[in-house]
């Protein structure tokens, strides 16, 4: 009986604790996705692990990051980096254009991006030290289209794993 208790309760909890400790030692943290802004890539309830970034480290376009913004009452939110410091970005007729080049976005569903909010964005330049973040579910995402480019200091890290 004691063996059964150990196998079903103690060992799994010890394994989970070891996983969390390993993540902390690698500079990683985790959070649970609370909204639908990144569907279909990340569903509500998905647990994501993110890795802290060094102050000099740049984020590549298309990367998914964890960030905090006052609009979300201190909650950690995932979003996709689509333009970096000094890049130009616009959306015309549903097509994302960064630095004059159309961006292929295989991660979004076109039926999640039909409203004017999602299909039109006047051309703008991302300020130095900031990033332009968009959710994959464009019609349901409050992102840089809503509150503007995000300062680098509010980006917690790069999402490295999701479960």
Q: Provide the pairing of β-strand 121-125 with 88-92.
A: antiparallel
Global confidence as pTM:
0.81
Give me the residue spans of the domains in the chain.
28-162
Give the per-residue pLDDT at 19: 47
Give the per-residue pLDDT at 136: 95
Give the per-residue pLDDT at 113: 84
Q: Is the pLDDT of residue 118 over 70?
A: yes
Residue 8 confidence class, pLDDT cut points 50, 70, 90: low
Give the per-residue pLDDT at 9: 56
Cis bond upstream, residue 40 (ω within 30)? yes
Q: Is the pLDDT of residue 135 over 90?
A: yes
Look at the block and give the residue holding tokens 């479960």.
163
Q: Is the pLDDT of residue 123 over 90?
A: yes
Is 2.10.109.10 the CATH number for 28-162?
yes
Q: How far is CA 35 from the centre of its chain?
A: 11
- 18: its two tokens: 């070891």
Residue 116 confidence class, pLDDT cut points 50, 70, 90: confident
pLDDT tens-digit map of 61-102: 999 999 998 888 889 999 999 999 999 999 999 999 999 999
pLDDT tens-digit map of 9-61: 554 454 444 445 445 546 799 999 999 999 999 999 999 999 998 877 788 99
How many CB atoms neighbour CB 54 within 10 A? 7
């Amino acid at each position: 009986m004691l063996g059964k208790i150990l196998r079903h309760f103690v060992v799994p909890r010890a394994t989970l604790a070891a996983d969390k400790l390993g993540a902390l030692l690698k500079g990683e943290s985790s959070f649970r996705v609370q909204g639908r802004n990144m569907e279909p890539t990340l569903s509500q309830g998905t647990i994501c692990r993110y890795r802290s970034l060094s102050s000099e480290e740049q984020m590549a376009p298309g990367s998914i990051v964890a960030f905090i913004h006052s609009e979300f009452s201190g909650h950690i939110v995932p979003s996709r980096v689509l333009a970096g410091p000094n890049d130009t970005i616009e959306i015309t007729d549903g097509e994302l254009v960064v630095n004059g080049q159309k961006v292929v976005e295989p991660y979004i569903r076109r039926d999640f991006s039909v409203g004017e909010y999602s299909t039109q964005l006047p051309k703008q330049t991302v300020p130095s030290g900031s990033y332009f973040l968009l959710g994959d579910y464009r019609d349901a995402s409050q992102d840089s289209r809503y509150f503007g480019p995000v300062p680098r200091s509010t980006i917690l890290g790069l999402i490295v794993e999701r479960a």
